[in-house]
Amino acid sequence: MSSADSIYSHLLGFITESGFRFPQLDIAWKSWGSLNEARDNVVVVCHALTGNADAETWFSGLFTETGILNPDEQFIICMNVPGSCYGSTGPQSVNPETNTRYASLFPVLSIRDIVRAQQLVLDHMKIREIQLVIGGSMGGMQALEFAAMDKRVKSAAVLAAGARHEAWAVGISEAQRLAIQADANWQNGDYKPEQIPRNGLAAARAMAMITYRAHQQYNERFGREKREDGLPQVVSYLQYQGEKLAERFDPLSYVRLTQTMDTHDIGRGRGGVEKALGKITIPILVTGVCSDLLYPVDEQKRLAELLPHGIYREILSPYGHDAFLIEFRQLNNLLKEFIYTIKRSEKTAI
């Protein structure tokens, strides 16, 4: 499968909702397929918290022969969010005006800031229509904001995300941030490249893994089993996951992006959630996971109910929140049904 990746540099300055000005904003992106002549065969894929632009890796089940993403017909693009550490401008990027790293001065971006940054790339490509925006978790927050902010979007799929970040999720994020900030190397975010607070990030990731999966799945997978050295299997698993993320992700990016997720509120500045959602008239598939501890299905059901053309569907899985990255067979079927429903409605309208 052919793909291309690049970095778009916006050199005209970018001002965030909080008023911070970036003299230059870089957005790393990767694409599959080709733009048609009308520049309207576009699918935008939005990644989750620690994801990157290589959607084919973490959304692999949607890129198969029977998957919903088809580079032979679609131009599929995924952009790494600003604030991350995978090519887009982030905390460890150098400010061209000061020639020093942003570090702790890097601002808390909003989900809307992220969507506005991604729109710059799409505008640069002269995209005329976006057939579908799809994303899960933080990616779902972006998909919903795209639906509210960009008139080019014709449909969206919001997976395992709600209309706003509720207190439960904010609290979980804050506990993870406190773990990172308790690391002796944290230095208020101004840590040196050779003294990264990896232990704090590993602890934060271990906390997150508890909320990404479900009670039943942990019991079935680990039970009370121990390794030969006496360490419980579940402890070994969480240590491994923490160390694995600490080797590939920047702790300050993790802090800032969890703070970004906390800004998510579709109703902020729009008269409240109900009023804001009532203005989104495109078809939106809202998908919950029956065992999701982080974003319980009641949040997705309410989101779908408040959208004029919202459709709620549920993934049945013991894997918890992470099911949207695992249960590809179910997800593909739900997406195919959604797209078929849209096409049938269009034919009826004609």
Please report the domains of the chain, with CATH numbers, ordered by start residue: 3-165+265-349 (3.40.50.1820), 169-261 (1.10.1740.110)
Q: Is 150 known to be catalytic?
A: no
Helices 215-222 and 233-248, interaxial angle, to 10°?
110
Cα separations in angstroms, 198 against 77, 175, 236, 250, 301:
31, 16, 17, 8, 37
**pLDDT computed for residue 71 by the predictor:** 97
Q: Which of 26, 262, 265, 292 is catalytic?
A: 292
Specify which residues 76 forms β-bridges with: 32, 43
Q: Which residue has the tokens 């088809």?
A: 70
For helices 198-212 and 233-248, give the axis angle rounded to 10 degrees. 120
d(CA 55, CA 293): 24
Q: Which two tokens stand for residue 213?
A: 């999966």
DSSP secondary structure string for all residues of 232-280: BHHHHHHHHHHHHHHHHS-HHHHHHHHHHHHT-BTTTTTTSHHHHHHT-
The confidence score (pLDDT) of residue 349 equals 63
Is residue 60 within a helix (H) or strand (E), and if so which, with residue range? none
Report d(CA 58, CA 56) in Å as an integer.
6
Catalytic site residue from 10, 110, 321, 322: 321
> What stretches in the chain show pLDDT beneath 70?
1-4, 228, 347, 349-350
The C-alpha atoms of residue 335 and residue 157 are separated, in whole angstroms, by 8
CB 293 within 8 A of CB 320: yes
Strands (E) across the chain are located at: 3-10, 14-15, 21-22, 25-32, 42-46, 75-79, 94-95, 100-101, 130-136, 156-159, 284-289, 310-315
Confidence (pLDDT) at 89? 98
Q: Which tokens sit at 276?
A: 């804001």
Give catalytic status of residue 137 as yes or no. yes
Q: Please say if 47 is a catalytic residue.
A: no
- In the structure encoding, which two tokens stand for residue 162, read together? 């709600």
Integer Cα distance of 174 and 254 in angstroms = 11
Q: Which of 93, 137, 155, 291 is catalytic?
A: 137
The pTM (predicted TM-score) of the whole model is 0.96
pLDDT in tens, 119-142: 999 999 999 999 999 999 999 999
Instruction: List, in sequence order, every residue forming a beta bridge with 134; answer none if it has no partner.
Output: 45, 157
In the chain, the N- to C-terminal Cα span, in Å, equals 36
